[in-house]
Structures are given as structure tokens and as C-alpha cells.
Amino acid sequence: MLTNPTIDRLRELGLQGMATAFQELDAQSEARGLEHGEWLAILLEREATIRQQKRFEARARAAKLRHDAQSRTPTFVPHVALTATYS
């Protein structure tokens, strides 16, 4: 397989995620059993993930947040019983 020219071509086309995934898959012996469609799906998923991450990072920089933007699970105060008085 023409690994290096393929990786070089992917990088020239600006497909850094696909090039990285291609290198990783090519190094794994288990990946050799995958069909072409499966390889392509993995490469495309990696490229899409990297592009999404770059968009998020660019938006976070543009927002100029005072703190690093992180997604966290909010912590809630335990249920407090409220008593209502009706007149």
C-alpha cells in the first residue's frame, strides 16, 4: 500500500484528522481485517470530530471568557422541604 503518499495527499488537502487516523489504523494489525467502507467511516468520523473540536476552540477563544469554558454537571442542593401557608 502507498501509505506515505496517501498520508501526504490527505495533509495537502487539509484532512489532518483523516491522515492521523489513517496512520493509526495502518499501524494496527486488527484494522487490516476491516473492509474499505469501515476504514472510510473511521477516517471520516475522526475528521469530523477534529473539525468540531477546532470550531469549539475557536468559538471559546472568540468569546474571550474569563474562565476556561468547561462542560460540567451542575451540583444541586438536596431537596429542601418548603412549607406554604395559605390564608
**pLDDT of 66:** 72
User: How would you class 18 by CB atoms within 10 Å of its CB: exposed for 0-12, middle for 13-18, buried for 19 or more?
Assistant: buried
Percentage with pLDDT > 90 across the chain? 41
Domain limits, the chain: 3-63
Q: Cβ of 21: how many Cβ atoms within 10 Å?
A: 21
**pLDDT of 81:** 65
**pLDDT of 29:** 85
Report pLDDT digits (tens) over 39-52. Answer: 899 999 999 999 99
pTM over 0.75: no
Name all contacts of 51-54 with Cβ < 8 Å and 24+ positions apart.
51/17
Below-50 pLDDT ranges, the chain: none
Q: Is the dihedral of CA 6, 9, 11, 14 positive or negative?
A: negative
